[in-house]
């Protein structure tokens, strides 16, 4: 069985409003399981950003729930059911977020939530599931770049001035019937409709990258050849987003 190793970093935003890092991730090289989530930003309360953040709480809760489910159910020797397991793990994690959110009253019913990506690697095959605007890509040693995720917030980002924050959060989010809809794991059962999954073959000596949207500019605009050669430090230095930035780079352990 092919073994992989990972390197990772998570850096807090530069917004200077005492906003905590709401990203969370987990890497298990031994089992080939990797999770990365990005908590949805909250509103300030009386001019102060909530710290600790409930979005970080649900991000951490979700990752731990999904990881526990996979450890208990995944079969190291079988690939056929991994996509089903990822789907069921995400559903369970979302249910736990629902339990967390149901215990409190949230202003304007704005539920704490998170988005993210989960991958499982078996030899030279990658299984993935994601929701929201995190990114996943594979880069061959020749520099061929394949982005296997699609940002779900692109449409609402272009039209957000047409709607109030309340409408976006409560009428568009997780509503598959709205033309600008997007998914957030906030305990709403409809979020599962926005989970996309699939498989991708990995060539020998490829690099796999998963990251939060703080690295979106690099993912979309830097060539595969340059990305393949970049270290995590170089990626972090180049990223100029003010948002939290988390990235995991995975490669064969030779």
Measure the N-to-C terminal CA separation of the chain; round to a whole number of Å.
12
DSSP 8-class letter at 3: -
pLDDT given at position 241: 67
pLDDT given at position 79: 56
pLDDT given at position 240: 66
Contact at 8 Å (CB) between 8 and 240?
Answer: no
Contact at 8 Å (CB) between 175 and 184?
Answer: no
| pLDDT under 70: residue ranges of the chain | 76-80, 240-241
The structure's pTM equals 0.95
Closest CA to 185 of 31, 11, 35: 35
pLDDT given at position 180: 98
Count each helix (H run) and each strand (E run) in the chain, helices first.
7, 10
pLDDT given at position 221: 93
Other beta carbons within 10 Å of 55: 25
pLDDT given at position 243: 86
Other beta carbons within 10 Å of 30: 8
Other beta carbons within 10 Å of 179: 9
Query: DSSP 3-state assignment of 244?
Result: coil
């Amino acid at each position: 069985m092919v073994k992989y190793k990972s390197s990772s970093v998570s850096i807090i935003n530069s917004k200077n409003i005492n906003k905590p890092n709401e990203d969370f991730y987990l890497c298990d090289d031994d089992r080939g399981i990797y999770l990365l989530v990005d908590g949805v930003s909250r509103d300030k309360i009386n001019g102060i950003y909530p710290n600790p953040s409930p979005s970080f709480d649900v991000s951490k809760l979700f990752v731990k729930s999904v990881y526990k489910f996979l450890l208990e159910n995944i079969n190291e020797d079988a690939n056929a059911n991994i996509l089903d397991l990822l789907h069921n793990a995400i559903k369970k994690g979302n249910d736990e977020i629902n339990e967390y959110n149901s215990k409190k009253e949230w202003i304007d019913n704005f539920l704490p939530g998170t988005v993210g990506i989960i991958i499982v690697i078996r030899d030279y095959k990658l299984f993935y599931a994601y929701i929201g605007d995190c990114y996943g890509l594979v880069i061959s040693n020749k520099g061929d770049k394949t982005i296997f995720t699609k940002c779900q917030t692109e449409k609402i980002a272009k039209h957000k001035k047409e709607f109030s924050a309340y409408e976006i959060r409560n009428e568009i989010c997780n509503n598959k019937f709205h033309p600008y809809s997007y998914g957030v794991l906030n305990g709403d059962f409809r979020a599962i409709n926005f989970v996309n999954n699939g498989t991708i073959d990995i060539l020998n000596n490829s690099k796999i990258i998963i990251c939060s949207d703080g690295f979106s500019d690099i993912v979309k605009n830097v060539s595969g050849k340059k990305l393949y050669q970049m270290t995590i430090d170089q990626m972090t230095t180049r990223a100029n987003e003010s948002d939290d930035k988390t990235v995991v780079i995975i490669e064969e352990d030779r």
